[in-house]
Amino acid sequence: MFIQALLVGLVYYISCFLYLGLGVFHFARPIIVGPLVGLVLGDLTTGVIMGATFESVFLGVIAVGGVRPADETIGAVIGTAIAILTSADTGSALAIAVPVALLGSSLRQVSKAVIIPLFIPVMDKAAANGDQSALKKWHIIAAFVWQLLPASAVFFAIFLGTNSIGVFLDNTPEFLIRGFAASGKMLPAVGFALLLNMLFDKKVFPFFFLGFVLFSYLHLPSIAIAILAVVLALTQFYQNEEKGSKTIVAAESPVNAEEEFFNE
């Protein structure tokens, strides 16, 4: 269990460092870290399934004013590890991972408030001296150290808590397991609802209902719907580009006519 917990902690640490330290965008999303956890634990299939499931749950999670309502990375990492190591179903893993993600957000904020200020004086000094290489160096070092606390929490959560969670799930009454499963099925819908609430626009929202009809009534696969969406997006883009070009030409035409009049 020690090696497994260490590997899971390293997945979290490396993913967050690449995203927050080096700016590799979206590398810490559940759809990425879920398969990575499955890979290091020897069950890639479950990792892919759980990563996609957690991605749908945390799809609408955004940072508002620098504060995240949930740390989707730590939730997906621990939830996927629990699903693999304890053979828990998706609903039970979700029921455990969502509160862990909320707790992880607080842990990340504590880590940021305690560790990052230690590097601010030397970084301010480097900035005042115009030393860009030192500023980059301290930024990378701070990113290295910053993730140690939450990564350690992931390690101890897997190392100390997995057996307890397995025993808890084995002795949980059936009606609670069914409740976990029901809530697990509802959480992806909540994630999509949060995303749609941010993306709601009367110009593009009809396309959502078009996709729903194509999937529910015409039974088209997701790949076919995605290809149609790309075609529609490209068509809309080129039409708007052509309209913009015509508008610019129309706006310039009176000016050119006036210039020709005075030149004559």
For 166-202, what is the HEC assignment? HHHHHCCCHHHHHHHHHHHHHHHHHHHHHHHHHHCCC
Given 200, 217, 233, the domain boundary residue is 200
The pLDDT score that the predictor gives to residue 244 is 66
Q: How far apart are the first and last CA of the chain?
A: 89
Are 86 and 126 found together in one domain? yes
- The model's pLDDT over 114-170, given as tens digits with 9 standing for 90+, comes to 788 888 888 888 888 888 888 888 888 887 887 788 888 888 888 876 666 556 556
The pLDDT score that the predictor gives to residue 36 is 92
Are 19 and 149 found together in one domain? yes
| Report field, pTM of the whole predicted structure over 0.85 | no
Higher pLDDT, 59 or 253: 59
Are 222 and 141 found together in one domain? no
Are 182 and 249 found together in one domain? no
Beta bridge partners of 264: none
Does the pLDDT at position 247 exceed 70? no
- Residue 211: which domain range? 201-264
Q: Lowest-confidence range among 58-62, 86-90, 173-177, 179-183?
A: 179-183
Are 226 and 188 found together in one domain? no
Are 87 and 172 found together in one domain? yes
Given 179, 200, 221, the domain boundary residue is 200
Are 167 and 56 found together in one domain? yes
Are 223 and 115 found together in one domain? no
Are 212 and 231 found together in one domain? yes
CA distance 133 to 126: 9
Are 205 and 113 found together in one domain? no
Are 25 and 152 found together in one domain? yes
Does the pLDDT at position 175 exceed 70? no
Round the average pLDDT of the chain to a whole number and report it: 76
The pLDDT score that the predictor gives to residue 261 is 47
Alpha carbon of residue 122 to chain centroid: 32
The pLDDT score that the predictor gives to residue 151 is 84
Number of domains into which the chain is organized: 2
> How sure is the predictor about 248, in pLDDT bands with cuts at 50, 70 and 90?
low
Are 121 and 195 found together in one domain? yes
Does the pLDDT at position 38 exceed 60? yes
The share of the chain scoring above pLDDT 70, in percent, equals: 72
